[in-house]
A and B are shown apart, each in its own frame.
Chain A
């Protein structure tokens, strides 16, 4: 009962993420990839994303504040960031990345700075939401694959 309730909560949360545009279909694909071999695949890849993206964001911030902006290299960073965020389905983050790249291409330093703030914000929000999500998911137990109860 309790587990079912938790499961429903998890599902609800996920659906709200989708509805609000924090996540997209790709996230569902990730969940489908989860299986016995990798029961925590989604969590693993999301953790990997946040660790790696933190590094990337630092590099970008560095490039933005130190001296004249090197747009091509900024574009490169953001390109990668966009790639990884789309891989986990981080929709809003990805959209902000696209905007950032546009300003980058246009050579608009101010636009880049503004958008970068947005990027960081969305990134942080998503991180918090997903952390909560995974905690809840763990409590609810594995999604029907293995039998153990995870509390």
Chain B
């Protein structure tokens, strides 16, 4: 093993110097593979035993960027090695085999391989493998941020396992895999959340929505409870929101608040909040009765209201409140698929945010702060409960989550959507204006944002699914469901997508687009689908996002 002393230098010239661990029991193949990899200017370590490979990896988790392994080995099955590496080290693993049977390839992908190459390997194929490292890193960093926060905040109620059970996703048979998946989703969700935040969220509507479900909480949050409810109903809930409503237990309200918070913050701080938002977390709880991490967030969220610049939120808030009915419908659908729950959570967050329209204006700045510093990310989301008190907190968290996700991922995608759905937004804006002006607490903003995020989240989720699918296909079922959700969310997002937000989001968007090009494409596609759907739903909302901005 020729380990170079410096690891940093090669990293700067990535993919040159990428550290690859090659495992193959056949000496001829291993020799050839090593030569090919070196020709690609990677830093190569070889071993002919899977056990040795595992030991090497375990010794120092940061020693390698990528693992390439043969499928058939005498001491350990290649798929087994693949699983272990994925679970323990979370490194991208590429499978190699002379056998290209579809079944084997499928097995590899479902076990988590990020690629499956056929022997004899060509150098052209190896020249591109570094992409898997980049992809994995992008998602992982977000996951870590999210997960970390999540664990802190999370009351422990909406743990991945629970969600998994609830979602009853077939392919996510391993908790870790699910966790990884969630990480990916949360990253996306965070981005979405950010985006939503940028948009200004359609808080009022969102909050209303959640409040409808949670009843109690809602009132607390909104100064103009009535208004919200009304607005809420009138707005066609984004697919997600609708779903959320139905799942009363989901605690939608919690989502909006958190979401909003984040949005505001993200707005202010640019992309910083995005990272903070643990979209993932939001997602998880969404499904299950998100009980917002009430205690913690509430304090934070509200306290900072005043300082948060709510500009973005306002616009977001204007987004139509998802139709309660629809939400219910959507929600149920969402529940069916794990993904939906995720998007739902975002929506929830938003909803909650909207719940406090009165404070929105005042609290925009606050929200921004809240979002930024709110650790509620995922945990809060998960705990999103229908209880009102926590709505705020939840909203904040959610907002954070949503905004981060939204911001990151949806920037580009949302931009597209929003433009398309201007008409949808009009309705919302009307509603929002009135309500928002008066209320708009920080949370409020989250709501609309949440809404935006909702659809976007779904979109992102979809994207995430796509991405995850690329890497490991256990998301398939979710993905399918997601489409549904996405559609609904798309609608919402479209409505939400405010011109304001889009502009704000640009900087973030550019960042994101670079990373999520594929997502955006997917999102765009989805957006289009949703647009159609939205048109139908639009009837209810009729809000013009732009008008909202005006109101604000």
Contacts and interface: CB of A to CB of B under 8 A. Distances in A.
A143 interface: no
A86 B120 contact: yes
B83 interface: no
B25 A80 contact: yes
B98 A48 contact: no
A38 B39 CA distance: 11
Interface stretch (A3-11, A26-34, A126-134): A26-34
Contact of B28 (A33, A76, A84): A84
B27 to A, nearest CB: 5
B518 interface: no
Contacts of B25: 80
Nearest to B73: A80
A35 B38 CA distance: 12
Interface in B1-54: 25-29, 31-32, 35-36, 38-39
Contact of A87 (B28, B38, B72): B28
B131 interface: no
The interface residues of chain A, by DSSP majority, are classed as helix
B68 to A, nearest CB: 14
A44 to B, nearest CB: 7
Contact of A86 (B27, B70, B98): B98
Nearest to B29: A87
B98 A88 contact: no
B119 interface: yes
Given A79-B72, A82-B98, A87 B119 contact: yes
B99 interface: yes
B122 interface: yes
Nearest to B121: A87
B35 A41 contact: yes
Contacts of B26: 52, 80, 83-84, 87
B131 to A, nearest CB: 22
| Chain A: number of interface residues, binned into ranges | 20 to 34
B387 to A, nearest CB: 59
Interface string A77-111: 00110111011110000000000000000000000
Contact of B72 (A37, A41, A44, A76): A76
Nearest to A80: B26
Contacts, number: 58
Contact of A48 (B27, B38, B74): B27
B98 A44 contact: no
Interface in B73-120: 74, 97-99, 119-120
Interface string A44-77: 1100110011000000000000000000000010
B98 A52 contact: no
Given A33-B36, A80-B25, A44 B31 contact: yes
B99 A79 contact: yes
Nearest to A26: B120
Contacts of A80: 25-26, 72
B122 A29 contact: yes
Contacts of A45: 28, 31-32, 35
A129 to B, nearest CB: 18
Contacts of A35: 39
Contact of B32 (A53, A82, A87): A87
B123 interface: yes
A83 B123 contact: no
B35 A52 contact: no
Q: Which of B27, B36, B99 has the most CB of A within 10 A?
A: B27
Nearest to B72: A79
Contacts of B72: 76, 79-80
A134 to B, nearest CB: 16
B119 to A, nearest CB: 5
A86 B119 contact: yes
Contacts of A86: 98, 119-120
A53 B29 CA distance: 12
B27 A83 contact: no
Contacts of B120: 26, 29, 86-87, 89
A83 B98 contact: yes
Nearest to B36: A33
Nearest to A49: B28
Contacts of B27: 48, 52, 84
Interface-centre pick from A44, A48, A82, A83 (highest chain B CB count, 10 A): A83
Contacts of A41: 35
A33 B32 CA distance: 9
Contacts of A89: 120
A105 B552 CA distance: 72
B127 to A, nearest CB: 13
Given A52-B27, A80-B25, A87-B119, A30 B32 contact: yes
B36 A84 contact: no
A90 to B, nearest CB: 10
Nearest to A46: B28
A53 B38 CA distance: 25
Given A76-B74, A87-B119, 9 more contacts: A33-B123, A38-B35, A45-B32, A49-B28, A79-B72, A79-B98, A80-B25, A83-B97, A86-B120
Q: 6 closest pairs, A vs B, by CB? A: A84-B28, A83-B98, A49-B28, A87-B120, A26-B120, A87-B32
16 contacts: A33-B35, A33-B36, A33-B123, A35-B39, A48-B28, A48-B31, A49-B28, A52-B26, A52-B27, A79-B98, A83-B28, A83-B70, A83-B97, A84-B26, A86-B98, A87-B29
